[in-house]
Amino acid sequence: MSESDLPLDLEFEGEFVLSTVLQRVLAPLIIEDIKSKLPLEGRAALMHDEMQITLGIRRGNIKPTKEVKRGDIAYMPLGDNLCIYVTDKTTFSPVTIIGRVESVGDELDRLQTKLAISDIEPNKFIETTNLARQLLMDHGRQ
């Protein structure tokens, strides 16, 4: 991990935590806007093999793509969302990939299990606590 990377823990309903890294080199302004909003708490929508978390930063795409891989984290300007992808897929609108899930194994599988449940109930939301908690140990804060 480089010094410009932003490590984040995403905690869902107190049940599990995804360790992630946002990479400033991919989209510096988007990452800085996200960092300025930390810590976030709110709701995350599970739909179509992705989790969407509304950010409220209103940015455009930097390096748009529609092809994402399992474990990618992207910013989707269309809904002003942070998206976590649990499968490889083609997105319906362009996104900017801004990071990766570090714990791609079991924890991402647990997220995918929740997605399967939400596909049955399309309007189901997962409450999130400490949605994005920056790891500030190196700065002496927690």
- Has residue 59 been placed in a domain? yes
By residue range, what is the domain housing residue 61?
5-135
Per-residue pLDDT of 61-117, as tens digits, reads 989 999 999 999 999 999 899 999 988 999 999 999 999 998 766 777 777 666 444
- Which H or E run contains 118? helix 106-120
Q: What is the pLDDT, as a whole number, of residue 45? A: 80
- Has residue 141 been placed in a domain? no
- Has residue 140 been placed in a domain? no
If one counts the domains in the chain, the total is 1
- Has residue 15 been placed in a domain? yes
Strand partners, 128: 12, 42
Percent of the chain with pLDDT over 70: 73
pTM of the model: 0.77
Q: What is the pLDDT, as a whole number, of residue 19? A: 85
Q: Which two tokens stand for residue 93?
A: 């609108």
- Has residue 53 been placed in a domain? yes
